[in-house]
């Protein structure tokens, strides 16, 4: 099993755990290396966004993989990670859902996000870095004003304080388990089932932002390759393999 957690580098403050781990990976850090920080000064989200990372309240960590899967399968690791996150937290917080491509939601609010980055190698990735930001003990006033209606934390949902180290341990444990499942059966078996059983977008009207395009459609499920299956305006079913989904209000 991938030894995630056997090599954890812990910091009070970093610019970004993913950026730090990238440098370590280039210098030869072993697979399974984890970098965690109490705060990030320049936490990064998808599509060039920032990830708000105040000190001591939440989990910000990145894990290193050196997988031997084909290049086109590498983006599926983000879905493996969100499924593992759901599994690790399911008993802590009820009503967790997964929003394609790889966010964890609760009551329609974002609880965690995943940033997956890779350095291409010959036929596969030289390495993959999965960065996870999980809102844990932040109260709503700890978020910037403009995010307050879109986000939540475990403590906002459950009215209790969580021990960050214990949560990290259980997420790392499930990441190891889910990575093994992915290597043995691919995304298409139990991982896909878990996501589709807890799929935030199922049968909702959404708009997919893909590059400069905005595509209105009705979302259904994810398929075996992690694509979002949706019905578009002309009635045909399409599988989207990249983009961001927004609910139509
Ligand atoms: C998203 O946009 O939803 C993805 C957010 C990912 C944030 C995490 S926090 C740990 C790691 N380090 C970063 O700079 N970003 C990721």
Say how far apart CA 8 and CA 3 lie, in whole Å: 10
The CATH topology of domain 205-247 is SH3 type barrels. (2.30.30)
Are the CB atoms for 143 and 193 separated by under 8 Å?
no
For ligand 1, what atom is nearest to the CA of residue 19?
14
Banded model confidence at residue 11, pLDDT cuts 50, 70, 90? very high
Enumerate long-range contacts of 226-234, CB under 8 Å, 24 or more apart.
226/75, 226/76, 226/79, 226/101, 226/187, 228/100, 228/101, 228/201, 230/206
N residues, the chain: 249
Helix (H, G, I), strand (E, B) or coil at 165: helix
What pLDDT was estimated at residue 113? 98
For ligand 1, what atom is nearest to the CA of residue 47?
2
The pLDDT tens digits for 149-195 are: 999 999 999 999 999 999 999 999 999 999 999 999 999 999 999 99
The pLDDT tens digits for 77-110 are: 999 999 999 999 999 999 999 999 999 999 999 9
What pLDDT was estimated at residue 123? 83
**Ligand 1 contacts CB of residue 62 (under 6 A):** yes
CA 32 to chain centre: 17
How is residue 227 written in tokens? Answer: 């694509």
**Going edge to edge, which strands form the sheet with 205-210?**
237-240, 228-232, 213-222, 205-210, 244-247
Q: Decide yes or no: CATH 3.30.930.10 for domain 7-197.
A: yes
Residue whose CA is at the smallest distance from ligand 1 atom 16: 131
| pLDDT higher than 90, residue 228 | yes
CA 239 to chain centre: 20
How far, CA to CA in Å, does 170 sit from each of 8, 52, 130, 164?
14, 23, 16, 10
**Ligand 1 contacts CB of residue 51 (under 6 A):** yes
What pLDDT was estimated at residue 29? 96
Using the mean position of ligand 1's atoms as its centre, give its distance from the Cα of residue 129 in Å.
Answer: 11
**Residue 12 DSSP class:** E
Nearest to 88 by CA among 154, 3, 183, 168: 168
Q: What is the mean pLDDT of residues 31-40?
A: 97
Domain ranges of the chain: 7-197, 205-247
What pLDDT was estimated at residue 2? 60
Instruction: Tell me whether the CATH fold assigned to 7-197 matches the one assigned to 205-247.
Output: no
Say how far apart CA 184 and CA 161 lie, in whole Å: 36
């Amino acid at each position: 099993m991938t030894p995630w957690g056997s090599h954890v580098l812990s910091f009070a403050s970093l610019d970004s755990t993913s950026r730090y781990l990238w440098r370590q990976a280039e210098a030869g850090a072993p697979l399974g290396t984890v970098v965690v920080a109490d705060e990030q000064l320049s936490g990064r989200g998808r599509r060039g966004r920032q990830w708000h990372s105040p000190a001591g309240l939440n989990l910000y960590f990145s894990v290193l993989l050196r997988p031997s899967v084909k290049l086109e399968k590498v983006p599926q690791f983000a879905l493996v990670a969100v499924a593992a996150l759901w599994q690790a937290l399911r008993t802590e917080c009820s009503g967790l859902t997964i929003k394609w491509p790889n966010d964890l939601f609760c009551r329609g609010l974002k609880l965690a996000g995943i940033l997956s980055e890779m350095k291409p190698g010959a036929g596969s990735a030289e390495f993959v870095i999965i960065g996870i930001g999980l809102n844990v003990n932040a109260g709503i006033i700890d978020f910037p004003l403009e995010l307050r209606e879109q986000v939540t934390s475990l403590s906002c949902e459950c009215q209790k304080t969580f021990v960050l180290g214990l949560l990290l341990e259980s997420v790392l444990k499930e990441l190891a388990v889910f990575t093994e499942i992915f290597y043995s059966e691919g995304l298409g078996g139990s991982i896909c089932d878990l996501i589709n059983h807890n799929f935030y977008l199922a049968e909702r009207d959404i708009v997919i932002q893909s590059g400069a395009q905005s595509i209105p459609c009705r979302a259904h499920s994810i398929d075996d390759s992690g694509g979002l299956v949706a019905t578009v305006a002309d009635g045909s079913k399409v599988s989207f393999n990249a983009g961001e989904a927004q609910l139509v209000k």
